[in-house]
Each structure stands twice: as structure tokens, then as C-alpha cells.
């Protein structure tokens, strides 16, 4: 098998007509169609019947990140609008959670819409907000100052006059949910709830882990009744999820690094994983789970590696795979390292790219939506199904499945 860096993204394309993109979600989350693929066979179901497609005592792992209202619109004195899109915290913060809890001031890496119109000085926004402490409405004043430019983004200092508010609360008060650009429409009131999983908990994403949008309390109840277990990890999805692959080969494409958070308790669960298998709900959960194996391999190579050094870079899995360390051995090493560091929660970054040629170490299956042509997400589908990805997507197209974030999905077995 040739190294995935030599792959051409041109080989992973298909025709996606505009009318097949789901611009709005269905009224009922679990009414979305579900394509089930196993050992070359394809059949149809719906999400509310997901439990019937899964073996008893299997384990589903979800990403509990929460989409933040990352779009801030500042109006200039001349009337022009400058959009500040908050991507990820500055390098001075150890993780997204601590950055989100900052009060009064924060430094954030941002995209700036209309940056050429922003000459000098700060941008200001004033909004009315209910003050719980004072019992009356106080104006909230937010300022944005350019600190530095980094390629196509800026480091922005954001400050506000209510020191009781965390940055997460500030975004909730003043920002709006950033819908994927391919929906080609403005955010509406309903998106605030529907572009969020029902189990979203950890603030930090600028895009939803969309495979989870189909899950309802009824679906979770049906899983429990079949003795199917559920667990949660956190991967804060960055805007790089939508970054098109423009390079001629994947070796020239840089994957975005994303923060992950995984508990020691979950790693123990993976070590004692059920024979029925582990199913990742969404590509973000899959990337998090598979990253754990390689982090364990790195710990085995450098037992005294520091928390700052223990990150996973894009091509490391393909460079380390010759060692062929058993899955449980790597996970045990990672767990023992966490114990030595007195960590109950592993917080780090992963840049892993999963493409044809990758051998899965943790997951047995993936639940995911239908992805854009020539995307790294489609490469994950191809890594699981081989060339059958074309047959799967042709079937979905011919049978009127809805595509992308608000669309239908599939269950793919490795």
C-alpha cells in the first residue's frame, strides 16, 4: 500500500448537485435516512431504528463539544460591517476550556471579513444585556484590537467591560452560530438549537460534529434497551474542517490541529472494549479515538515525554506503524503515563489524517454524514470502505439521500 501522502484528492470526487445539499434539517432529528454498509452490502434504514443495526453490548463514542457563537459583527462609524470569526485561542492558553473561561480580556486567532476596511484603532460593539447582579439592563461594550497577522488570520485582543462575564458567556450574548459556508444562507433562529447535538456540553467548536445531530432521547433509550453502551470524548472542531484540499497530492496539504480531551476512565473502557466493537459517532470522534493509540505508541518510545510534547502530528501514524504495537499495550502505556502525570483528563492536540492505507486500531465502525467531494472527510470514508465509497455515494445519490451537515448519514463497518 502506497503512503497516503502520495494520494491525489482528484481521485476522491463526485458530482454533488446543489439541490442535494440539505440546507435545513428535517423536523424530526431521528427521521433522517441511514445507509448501512457492511462487507460490501448496502441497505437503508432511519436513525430512529439505529439500535437494530448495532450488535448488543457494542460501544458508541460521541463527541460532546458545543458549537460557540463564534461570529462577532462590528459596525464601523462609517456604517460598514467587519466580521470577526473566532477560530481558536491564542498560544498562551493551554486548552480551549481555560481560554473560554477568561474574563475581561482574551486573545484569539480570528478570520476577519473586510479586514482591508479595518485600518487603525479598535472596533467597538455595544449591546443591551440583562444584568443578573444589578437587576437592570446594562450596556455591554466589546472592543477588538488587531495584535498580529498570521498568514490568512489575525491574533485579536477582545476585551469587554463586564468582568463577571467569561468569554464563552460573552459569545453567547453577542455572537452568532457559524453555519458551514456550503449551506449558502444566513443563520436563522432555529439553527441555534438544531446546529447543536442534544448532548453538547463543552464549549469550543466552530462547527458541529454533525453525525450526532440525528440523535434524540428516544434513540438513546433504544440503544440502552439493547444494552449498547455510550461514552463521550471532546474534540473541538475548527474551521479547518471546511478547508478545501488545493494541493496536487495529500503530502502538500496541512491538516488543521484540533484540541481533544479524553478521560482516563474512557481509556480504561477502550482497554476492556467489548467484542461487539466500538463505533465512532462522527469523524471527529473517530480521529480522537485513533489518536489515542498513536499517543500511546509515542509514550512507549519516550516514557518521560512532557504534556506539552505529547501531541500527534499529521503523518506520524504512518511513520510509527512499522512498530505494530498491540492496541491494548499502547493504551495501557498511555494510561500509565497519565497516572505518572497525575492526570484524570488528557488534553492535547491532534493533527491526524486518516486516508486509504490507514489501519484502524480502535474503531470497528463509523456513523457519519455524507461529505463534500475532494475533502479529507471523504478520505476517512475511503479508508474504511476502499473503492466501495464510490458505490456508497452513488447509491445515496440515486436514492435521494440528503447530503452534508443537515443531511442524512451512514453506518460504515470496517
Q: What is the pLDDT of residues 79-112, one digit of tens each?
A: 788 999 999 999 999 899 999 999 999 999 999 9
Q: Give pTM, 2 decimals.
A: 0.93
Residues 43 and 81 in one domain: no
Residues 134 and 261 in one domain: no
Q: Which of 182-186, 231-235, 309-313, 369-373 has the lowest mean pLDDT?
A: 182-186
Q: Check pLDDT > 60 for residue 273.
A: yes
Band of the pLDDT at 136, cuts 50, 70, 90?
A: very low
Residues 87 and 31 in one domain: no
Residues 302 and 370 in one domain: yes
Looking at the domain assignment, is residue 187 inside a domain? no
Residues 145 and 240 in one domain: no
Cβ pair 198, 215 in contact under 8 A:
yes
Quote the pLDDT of residue 241: 66
C-alpha cell at 38: 457492511
Band of the pLDDT at 243, cuts 50, 70, 90?
A: low
Residues 356 and 373 in one domain: yes
Quote the pLDDT of residue 394: 98
Indicate the pairing of strand 65-67 with strand 136-150: unpaired
Average the pLDDT over 176-204 and give the result.
Answer: 94
Looking at the domain assignment, is residue 407 inside a domain? yes
Q: Check pLDDT > 60 for residue 133.
A: no
Could you give the CA distance from residue 323 to residue 371 in angstroms, rounded to a whole number?
32
Residues 145 and 22 in one domain: no
Domain's final residue, options 119, 146, 175: 175
Residues 292 and 384 in one domain: yes
The mean predicted confidence, pLDDT, of the chain is 93
Band of the pLDDT at 68, cuts 50, 70, 90?
A: very high
Average the pLDDT over 305-328 and give the result.
Answer: 93
Could you give the CA distance from residue 180 to residue 330 in angstroms, rounded to a whole number?
36
Residues 237 and 200 in one domain: yes
Domain's final residue, options 175, 203, 229: 175
Structural domain of residue 391, as residue ranges? 4-66+194-413
Band of the pLDDT at 119, cuts 50, 70, 90?
A: confident
CATH code, domain with 52: 3.40.1780.10
Band of the pLDDT at 256, cuts 50, 70, 90?
A: confident
Residues 120 and 269 in one domain: no
Residues 396 and 324 in one domain: yes
Could you give the CA distance from residue 137 to residue 243 in angstroms, rounded to a whole number?
40
Domain's final residue, options 175, 210, 227: 175
Looking at the domain assignment, is residue 185 inside a domain? no
Which tops the pLDDT comparison, 140 or 365? 365
Residues 59 and 76 in one domain: no
Looking at the domain assignment, is residue 136 inside a domain? yes
C-alpha cell at 182: 456550503
Looking at the domain assignment, is residue 113 inside a domain? yes
Q: Check pLDDT > 90 for residue 287.
A: yes
Average the pLDDT over 363-376 and give the result.
Answer: 96
Looking at the domain assignment, is residue 232 inside a domain? yes
Domain count, the chain: 2
CA 26 to chain CA mean position, Å: 22
What percentage of the chain reaches a pLDDT higher than 90?
81
Looking at the domain assignment, is residue 182 inside a domain? no
Looking at the domain assignment, is residue 237 inside a domain? yes
Amino acid at each position: 500500500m502506497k503512503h497516503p501522502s502520495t494520494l491525489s484528492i482528484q481521485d476522491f470526487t463526485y458530482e454533488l448537485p446543489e439541490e442535494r445539499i440539505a440546507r435545513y434539517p428535517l423536523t424530526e432529528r431521528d427521521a433522517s435516512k441511514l445507509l448501512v454498509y457492511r462487507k460490501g452490502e448496502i441497505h437503508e434504514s432511519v436513525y430512529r431504528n439505529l439500535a437494530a443495526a448495532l450488535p448488543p453490548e457494542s460501544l458508541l463514542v460521541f463527541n460532546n463539544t458545543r458549537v460557540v457563537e463564534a461570529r462577532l459583527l462590528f459596525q464601523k462609524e462609517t456604517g460598514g460591517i467587519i466580521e470577526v470569526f473566532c477560530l481558536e485561542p491564542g498560544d498562551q492558553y493551554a486548552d480551549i476550556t481555560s481560554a473560554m473561561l477568561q474574563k475581561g480580556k482574551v486573545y484569539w486567532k480570528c478570520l476577519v471579513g473586510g479586514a482591508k476596511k479595518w485600518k487603525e484603532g479598535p472596533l467597538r460593539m455595544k449591546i443591551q444585556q440583562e444584568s443578573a447582579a444589578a437587576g437592570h439592563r446594562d450596556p455591554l461594550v466589546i472592543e477588538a484590537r488587531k495584535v498580529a497577522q498570521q498568514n490568512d488570520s489575525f491574533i485579536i485582543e477582545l476585551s469587554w467591560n463586564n468582568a463577571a462575564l467569561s468569554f464563552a458567556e460573552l459569545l453567547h450574548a453577542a455572537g452568532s452560530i457559524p453555519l458551514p459556508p456550503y449551506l449558502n444562507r444566513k443563520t436563522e433562529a432555529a439553527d441555534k438549537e438544531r446546529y447543536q447535538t442534544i448532548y453538547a456540553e463543552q464549549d469550543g467548536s466552530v462547527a458541529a460534529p454533525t453525525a450526532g445531530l440525528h440523535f434524540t432521547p428516544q434513540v438513546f433509550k433504544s440503544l440502552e434497551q439493547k444494552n449498547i453502551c455510550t461514552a463521550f470524548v471532546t474534540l473541538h472542531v475548527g474551521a479547518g474542517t471546511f478547508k478545501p484540499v488545493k494541493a496536487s497530492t495529500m503530502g502538500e496539504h496541512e491538516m488543521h490541529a484540533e484540541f481533544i480531551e479524553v478521560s482516563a476512565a474512557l481509556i480504561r473502557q477502550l482497554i476492556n472494549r467489548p467484542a461487539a466493537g466500538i463505533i465512532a459517532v462522527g469523524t471527529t470522534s473517530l480521529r480522537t479515538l485513533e489518536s489515542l493509540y498513536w499517543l500511546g505508541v509515542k509514550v512507549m518510545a519516550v516514557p518521560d515525554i512532557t504534556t506539552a510534547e505529547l501531541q500527534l502530528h499529521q503523518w506520524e501514524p504512518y511513520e510509527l506503524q512499522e512498530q505494530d504495537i498491540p492496541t491494548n499495550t499502547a493504551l495501557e502505556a498511555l494510561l500509565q503515563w497519565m497516572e505518572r502525570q497525575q492526570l484524570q483528563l488528557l488534553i492535547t492536540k491532534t493533527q491526524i489524517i486518516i486516508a486509504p492505507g490507514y489501519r484502524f486500531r480502535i474503531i470497528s465502525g463509523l456513523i457519519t454524514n455524507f461529505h463534500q467531494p475532494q475533502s479529507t472527510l471523504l478520505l476517512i470514508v475511503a479508508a474504511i470502505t476502499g473503492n466501495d465509497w464510490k458505490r456508497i455515494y452513488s447509491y445515496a445519490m440515486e436514492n435521494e439521500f440528503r447530503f452534508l451537515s443537515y443531511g442524512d448519514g451512514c453506518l460504515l463497518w470496517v
